[in-house]
Structures are given as structure tokens and as C-alpha cells.
Amino acid sequence: MNNKTSNDKAELNVRAALIQLREQITEVDEQLLQLLANRRRLSLSVAKVKGLEQLQIRDHKREEELLERLIEQGKSLNLDAFFVTRLFHKIIDDSVRIQQQFVLAQNKTDNSTNTIRRLAILGGKGSYSYFAAKQHYAYSDKNNAYIGCPTFAEVLHAVEDGQAEHAVIPIENTTSGGITEVYDLLLHTSLSIIGEEKYQIEHCLIAKEQTSINEVKTIYAHPQALRQCDQFLNQLKQVELKLVESTADAVQQVLADDSNTSAAIGGEDAAELYQLEILQRKIANQAINFTRFLIVSRKARKVSKQL
């Protein structure tokens, strides 16, 4: 048997082994999906039982005990604590949202048959406000229609004037602190705060395909994003920074540029939405970066004791 034949046979054996392993992984993935679906059904049943005695949806003590136990079990299975913690934070958050949505539906006072919810946000599709709104209403049975506004003042005016039922507006960030302009606007409005959403901000430098980071001459960003990424930006030489009203506007500027020399500061979700390439991930000064958004409405909402 010559060397070529031996190499071909070895390559076939490797490919066959890969196919078999990938089939096993796919089978495990499908089992995981089934288990997650079962867990969701149990979470909904828990909400129904809690409703009988008006018990609080969140039980922080139980959540902490659960995580501690799972971390210990994970260690015995060679799973590191960070991975287990991050995974089960997502799962617990999903469980809480399902239960909260059930309680809100049970206490619903709006009998409207309208299936469209009009939401005022800063910018438009691709902005962090857009993705925070999608996250907040992910379990709702209504569809969202987004009204993009160029300023925070116009976001609130859209609700005041009846163009939108609710607004989703940022109020503070773990890196740059409170947004003074929004605080001031809320002091002079009759709108009611009916909810909030914490959204993880993961700033990336994004551009069109075929764009090299060394070729970038202009970077578009919202002022908050610039402040949160200034350490990274200071390392770039001969790059012009241009302020825009929102992350969505920054992305649109890049899409409109035919020179392939511009980039925007935005999230991975925005890059995926507009099929842009991520030139650099995690460019924020702080690795842990969350923005708290408020949900405001013309009508105050009666909040269940369970929430």
C-alpha cells in the first residue's frame, strides 16, 4: 500500500469519526432543547401555584442556593463555575420572565383586542433601545411596531401625543452613570413608569464586509458609546470620531458609505441585523456594562403584589 492510499484512508477515518461525533452532539443538543422546554412548563406551573397564595415570583434566597449547588455539581463534572453561573443566570431569568408574564396576563386590565404595540425608542432598528425593547417584550402575545425618534425628548413626546403606547428609554449605565437629560425630562412629564429592563451592552467596532480595521478613517457613535469606549478609541491613530443621535444612526452612516473606510460602535445584534462585520469585540472600558431602561406610559399600571 503506497503512502497516498494510506493517507486517503486515514482522512476517510477522520471524517467518519467527525461525522459520528457531530451526530452525537446534535442528539445531545436536541435533548437539551427538550429539557429546557420541560423546565419552562414547570416554571409556568410554579407561577400558577404561587398565584393561589399571592406569593412573590422571585425567591432570591432559593436562586442563590440553587446556583451554589449547581456550581458544586458542575465542578464534579469538570464544568467551571463561570460557565455554570452564566448559563443558569440565563435559565433563571427566562423562568422569572415567564412567571411575570403569566401574572401580568392574569391581572390584565386592558381588554383591547389590538395585537400591535407601538413603542417609541431612540433611533430605530439596530439601536440598543430597540434590542432592550425586544428583550423586555419577548414573552408578550402582541407584536411590536417601533417608532424611531432622534432625541430623548421626542421619544417621550411620542407617548404624550398618543403616537405610541409606551416608550423604552435608557436612564443609567454601569460605566457612564445616570443619563442626566433623561432624568430632567422625566421630572417634567406626566408619564408613568410602568417597568424597567436591564440590558447588557457589549460594544463592538462594526463595518461592512471587506473592511480592515487599519483602513477605517471615520467612526460613528452615540456620545454615551464614545465615552464608554474612549480607552480603545485613543489607541487608534488618524481616525475621525463623529457623533450621531443613536447607535442605529451610526449603523446607517456605515451602510451609506461606499468607500468602506467607516465603522460604527454598536452591538453584535446590530451587526447581525444589518449583515455587518465585527472588526473588534469588547471595546468598552469596562467588561461588565449594563444599561437600565425604563418603560413609560400615559397610563399607570396596577402592579401585582407578586411582582
Which CATH number applies to 34-106: 3.40.50.1370, 3.30.413.10, 3.30.750.80, 1.20.59.10?
1.20.59.10
Q: What's the pLDDT at 248?
A: 93
Domain boundaries for CATH 3.40.190.10 within the chain:
116-201+290-297, 204-280
d(CA 169, CA 294): 5
Give 63-74 pLDDT, tens digit per residue.
899 999 999 999
Q: What's the burial of 114, exposed, middle or buried (CB within 10 Å: 0-12/13-18/19+)?
A: exposed
Q: Which CATH class is domain 204-280?
A: alpha beta
Q: What's the pLDDT at 237?
A: 84
Question: What's the full length of the chain, in residues?
Answer: 307
Give 98-114 pLDDT, tens digit per residue.
887 777 676 665 555 56
**Quick one: average pLDDT of 284-301?**
90
**Quick one: average pLDDT of 280-306?**
84
Lowest-confidence range among 3-17, 112-126, 241-255? Answer: 3-17
Give 101-154 pLDDT, tens digit per residue.
777 676 665 555 567 899 999 998 999 999 999 999 988 778 899 999 999 999
Q: What's the pLDDT at 12?
A: 77
What's the gap between Cα 285 and its chain centre? Answer: 19
Topology, domain 116-201+290-297: D-Maltodextrin-Binding Protein; domain 2 (3.40.190)
Q: What's the pLDDT at 3?
A: 64
Q: Are strands 277-280 and 240-243 parallel, antiparallel or unpaired?
A: unpaired
